[in-house]
C-alpha cells in the first residue's frame, strides 16, 4: 500500500475514533441528565395533580377532567389516582406517545428508564388517595437522537474538509516522490530527467538533490560510452584519411545485400586511381592524400545525388574505391558516367594529379544469391579492361534486358494506377523474439505489385521508379490506408516502413497522419519505421515522435548502424525498437568488434 493511502487511512481512522469518543461521552452525560429531568418532570406533575385534587377528590367528573388535562399536556406513559383505603384506581390514563422516528437500535443502546413520581391527596388531615405519574422517555430520546445526528453531521463535515485539505497537502508534498519514480523509469529507458523545482521539505529536498546528481552522473557516463562506441566504430569500419567506410565494412555490406531477399539486385561501381604509388613519389604523400580525399568527396556526392543516400561508399584499399548502389535505371546510366568523368577530369586540370586519366571506373550488376567473390571478380575484370583501353568507363550488360525494355511512361502509368486504386498486394513477415522463436513481436508489412499476367513484382524492382518519379509520399499514404484496412479486419501489431520524404515537412507529415486521425483505435497497433539513412534532423524527429505519440502510434528505426552519433538522441525519442542493419550482425559470433559495438 502506498504511503499516500496509508496516511489517508490513518486520518480516517483518527476521525472515526474522535467521533466514537465524542458519542460515548455525550451519551453518558446526556443519559444521566435526561433521567433526572424525567424523574423531576414526573414528580412535578404528580405534586401539581395531587394539590389540585385536594378540593375535588369527591367529584369524579372533576377528578377525571383534571387527570385528562394533565395527561394530555405532556409525554406521560401512565397517570393513576388510587383510593388508599381500597387500593383500587379511581381513574387511570395510559398511552404510548407517537413515534418520533428514533431508531429502535438507538433506543436499546441508550436504555433510558422512564421517570416516576407520586403524591398524596388529602381531605383535611386524612389521606384519601395517591397519585402515581410515569413519564415516557420518548421526548428525551428524540432530543438526544437529534443532538447525536447534529454532532455526527458536524464532525463528518469537518472531517471531509480536513481530508480534502490533507489530500491536497499530501499530494503537493509527495509530488517529488512521483518525480523520482518518473526519473527511475526514464533511466530504464535511458532517458535522463532532472527535477527542476526542489521541494521545501528538507528531507525530500535532500532525496531529490541526490537523485538529480545521480541522473547527471549517469547521463555523463552514458554520453561518454556513446562517444567511445562511436570512436570504436570509426576505427573498426572507417578509413581514417577519407572518412569513408573501409574494406571490412564494405565486405560486410556487400554480403548483406547479396543475401537479403527483400532487396532486388544492384550495381557495384569500382574506381581505381591511376599510379598512386608513382604519385606518392613524384608529388609527395600530402598531395596524394588530398587527391584521395577529393575522389572520396566526388563519390559521396554521387551517392547523394543519384542514389538518394541508399548507396554505400567505401575505400577498399589504396587508391581503390567502391559504391554499392541500388539498381541504376537505363536513363541514369549515361548521366552518372558523364558526371563522374567530368569531375575526374577536373581533378587532373587543377593539378591534383599528373596522370591522365586520373582514375578508371567500372559499373557491374549483381543479383541476390551471387557470391561476393564472383561480383568483385567481374568488377575487377571490367576495371582491367578500362585500364587497358585507357578509358574512363567500361561496363557490359550493366542494365538487365528487362529494364531496358521498360520506359519511363510505362512505369509511371503502372504505378499511378496502383496508387490511385490502392491495389498494392500486402504480405506480412513475422518478427520473432530472440530468446523465444515461438513469440511473434509484430508483423512487418511488405508490398508487391501484381501485373496483368498475375506476376508479383517485388519492391526491389519498382521502388527505384518510385524514387525516380517522386511518388514516395503518395505510396506511403496509400500503404498506410491499406494497412489500416487490414488492421480493421484483424487487429495485431504491425510495422510499416515509410520514406523520409513523408516526414520532411509539416505539409507532408499532416497528409501522412490524416488516415491515422480517422482511426485512432487502430493506431495503437501500428508502428511506423524509418530507415536510418532517411532520418531527418534531430528537431524534426522530435516533432514526428510527439505527433505519433499523440495519435497512439510509435516510431521505429531500421537498418541502424551507420550513424552512431545519433545514439545520444535515441533515449529521448522513446522508440518502439531499433533494428540493427544486417551487415553488423552477420557473423557476429566471429566478429569481435561488431559484438562489442552492439553490446
Q: Does residue 504 sit in the same domain as residue 544?
A: yes
Cell of 168: 491536497
Q: Does residue 332 sit in the same domain as residue 471?
A: no
Q: Does residue 100 sit in the same domain as residue 35?
A: yes
The verdict on residue 255 lying in a domain is yes
Q: Does residue 205 sit in the same domain as residue 58?
A: no
Q: Which of 546, 441, 417 is CA-nearest to residue 492?
A: 441
For 44, residues 6+ apart whose C-beta sits below 8 A from its C-beta are 117
The verdict on residue 242 lying in a domain is no
The verdict on residue 177 lying in a domain is no
> What distance, in Å, lies between the first and last C-alpha atoms of the chain?
38
Q: Which of 194, 210, 237 is the last residue of a domain?
A: 237
Query: Could you tell me the CATH number of the domain that includes residue 374?
Result: 3.30.70.270
pLDDT at 565: 56
pLDDT at 405: 42
Query: Could you tell me the CATH number of the domain that includes residue 26?
Result: 3.30.110.200
Range of the domain at 593: 406-598
Q: Does residue 276 sit in the same domain as residue 314?
A: yes
Q: Which of 170, 203, 225 is the last residue of a domain?
A: 170
Rounded Cα–Cα distance for residues 266 and 367 (Å): 6
The verdict on residue 434 lying in a domain is yes
Q: Does residue 469 sit in the same domain as residue 392?
A: no
Q: Does residue 205 sit in the same domain as residue 345?
A: no
The verdict on residue 176 lying in a domain is no
Q: Does residue 481 sit in the same domain as residue 578?
A: yes
From first to last of the 599 residues of the chain, give the pLDDT tens digit. 666 678 778 877 887 888 788 778 877 777 778 888 888 888 888 898 888 888 888 788 888 888 888 887 767 888 898 888 888 888 888 887 665 678 888 878 877 778 888 899 888 788 889 988 888 787 778 888 888 888 778 878 887 888 788 778 877 777 777 788 888 887 776 677 787 777 777 877 888 888 888 888 888 887 787 778 778 777 888 888 998 989 988 988 888 888 876 666 788 889 999 888 888 888 888 999 999 999 999 999 988 888 766 788 999 988 899 999 887 766 677 788 888 888 988 888 888 888 888 888 888 888 888 888 988 888 888 888 877 766 555 554 444 444 444 567 788 898 999 999 999 999 988 988 877 778 888 999 999 998 888 888 888 778 878 887 889 999 999 999 999 999 999 999 999 999 888 998 899 999 999 999 988 899 999 999 998 878 888 888 888 989 999 998 999 988 776 665 566 667 677 788 888 876 666 666 665 555 555 54
For residue 365, count other CB atoms closer than 10 A to its CB: 20
pLDDT at 407: 64
The verdict on residue 520 lying in a domain is yes
Q: Does residue 322 sit in the same domain as residue 412?
A: no
pLDDT at 271: 92
Query: Could you tell me the CATH number of the domain that includes residue 432?
Result: 3.20.20.450
The sign of the CA dihedral 490, 495, 496, 498 is positive
Q: Does residue 338 sit in the same domain as residue 428?
A: no
pLDDT at 121: 86
Q: Which of 342, 370, 403 is the last residue of a domain?
A: 403
Predicted TM-score (pTM) above 0.75: no
For 407, residues 6+ apart whose C-beta sits below 8 A from its C-beta are none
The verdict on residue 149 lying in a domain is yes
Q: Does residue 335 sit in the same domain as residue 193?
A: no
Number of domains in the chain: 4
pLDDT at 474: 93
Rounded Cα–Cα distance for residues 492 and 477 (Å): 20
pLDDT at 399: 44
The three-point CA angle 55-58-62 to 5° equals 75
What is the per-residue DSSP string for 257-280?
A: HHH-TTS--EEEEEEEETTHHHHH
Q: In this structure, are residues 364 and 398 in contact, taking their beta carbons and an 8 Å threshold?
A: yes
pLDDT at 475: 94
Q: Does residue 360 sit in the same domain as residue 468?
A: no
Q: In this structure, are residues 231 and 240 in contact, taking their beta carbons and an 8 Å threshold?
A: no
What is the SS3 string spanning 457-496?
Answer: ECHHHHHHHHHHCCCHHHHHHHHHHHHHHHHHHCCCCEEE
Amino acid at each position: 500500500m502506498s504511503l499516500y493511502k496509508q496516511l489517508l487511512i490513518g486520518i480516517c481512522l483518527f476521525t472515526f475514533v474522535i467521533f466514537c469518543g465524542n458519542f460515548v461521552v455525550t451519551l453518558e452525560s446526556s443519559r444521566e441528565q435526561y433521567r433526572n429531568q424525567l424523574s423531576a418532570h414526573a414528580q412535578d406533575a404528580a405534586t401539581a395533580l395531587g394539590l389540585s385534587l385536594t378540593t375535588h377528590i369527591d367529584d369524579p367528573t372533576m377528578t377525571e377532567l383534571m387527570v385528562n388535562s394533565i395527561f394530555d399536556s405532556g409525554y406521560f406513559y401512565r397517570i393513576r389516582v388510587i383510593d388508599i383505603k381500597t387500593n383500587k384506581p379511581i381513574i387511570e390514563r395510559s398511552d404510548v406517545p407517537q413515534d418520533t422516528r428514533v431508531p429502535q437500535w438507538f433506543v436499546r443502546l441508550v436504555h433510558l428508564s422512564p421517570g416516576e413520581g407520586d403524591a398524596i391527596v388529602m381531605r383535611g388531615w386524612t389521606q384519601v388517595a395517591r397519585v402515581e405519574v410515569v413519564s415516557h422517555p420518548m421526548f428525551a430520546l428524540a432530543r438526544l437522537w437529534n443532538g447525536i445526528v447534529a454532532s455526527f453531521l458536524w464532525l463528518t463535515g469537518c472531517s471531509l474538509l480536513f481530508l480534502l485539505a490533507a489530500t491536497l497537502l499530501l499530494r503537493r508534498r509527495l509530488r517529488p516522490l512521483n518525480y523520482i519514480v518518473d526519473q527511475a523509469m526514464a533511466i530504464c529507458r535511458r532517458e535522463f530527467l532532472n527535477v527542476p523545482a526542489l521541494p521545501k521539505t528538507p528531507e525530500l529536498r535532500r532525496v531529490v538533490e541526490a537523485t538529480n546528481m545521480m541522473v547527471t552522473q549517469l547521463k555523463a557516463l552514458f554520453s561518454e560510452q556513446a562517444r567511445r562506441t562511436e570512436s570504436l566504430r570509426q576505427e573498426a569500419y572507417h578509413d581514417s584519411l577519407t572518412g569513408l567506410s573501409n574494406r571490412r565494412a564494405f565486405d560486410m555490406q556487400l554480403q548483406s545485400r547479396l543475401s537479403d531477399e527483400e532487396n532486388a539486385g544492384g550495381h557495384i561501381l569500382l574506381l581505381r586511381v591511376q599510379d598512386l604509388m608513382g604519385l606518392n613519389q613524384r608529388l609527395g604523400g600530402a598531395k596524394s592524400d588530398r587527391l584521395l580525399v577529393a575522389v572520396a568527396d566526388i563519390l559521396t556526392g554521387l551517392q547523394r545525388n543519384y542514389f538518394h543516400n541508399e548507396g554505400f561508399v567505401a575505400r577498399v584499399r589504396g587508391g581503390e574505391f567502391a559504391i554499392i548502389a541500388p539498381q541504376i535505371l537505363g536513363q541514369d546510366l549515361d548521366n552518372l558516367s558523364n558526371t563522374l568523368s567530368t569531375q575526374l577530369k577536373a581533378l587532373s586540370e587543377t593539378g591534383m594529379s599528373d596522370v591522365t586519366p586520373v582514375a578508371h571506373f567500372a559499373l557491374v550488376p549483381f543479383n541476390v544469391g551471387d557470391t561476393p567473390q564472383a561480383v568483385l571478380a567481374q568488377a575487377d575484370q571490367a576495371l582491367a579492361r578500362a585500364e587497358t583501353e585507357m578509358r574512363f568507363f567500361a561496363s557490359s550488360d550493366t542494365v538487365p534486358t528487362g529494364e531496358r525494355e521498360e520506359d519511363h511512361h510505362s512505369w509511371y502509368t503502372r504505378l499511378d494506377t496502383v496508387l490511385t486504386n490502392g491495389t498494392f498486394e500486402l504480405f506480412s513477415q513475422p518478427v520473432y523474439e530472440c530468446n523465444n522463436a515461438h513469440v511473434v513481436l509484430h508483423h512487418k508489412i511488405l508490398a508487391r505489385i501484381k501485373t496483368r499476367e498475375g506476376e508479383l513484382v517485388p519492391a526491389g524492382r519498382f521502388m527505384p521508379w518510385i524514387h525516380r518519379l517522386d511518388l514516395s509520399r503518395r505510396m506511403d499514404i496509400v500503404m498506410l490506408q491499406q494497412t489500416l484496412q487490414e488492421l480493421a479486419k484483424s487487429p495485431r501489431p504491425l510495422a510499416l516502413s515509410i520514406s523520409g520524404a513523408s516526414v520532411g515537412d509539416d505539409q507532408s507529415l499532416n497528409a501522412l497522419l490524416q488516415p491515422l486521425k480517422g482511426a485512432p483505435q487502430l493506431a495503437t497497433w501500428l508502428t511506423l519505421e524509418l530507415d536510418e539513412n532517411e532520418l531527418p534532423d534531430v528537431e524534426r524527429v522530435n516533432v514526428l515522435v510527439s505527433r505519433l505519440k499523440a495519435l497512439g502510434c510509435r516510431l521505429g528505426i531500421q537498418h541502424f548502424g551507420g550513424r552512431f552519433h545519433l545514439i545520444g538522441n535515441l533515449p529521448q525519442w522513446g522508440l518502439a525498437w531499433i533494428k540493427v542493419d544486417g551487415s553488423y550482425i552477420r557473423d557476429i559470433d566471429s566478429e569481435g568488434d561488431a559484438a562489442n559495438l552492439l553490446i
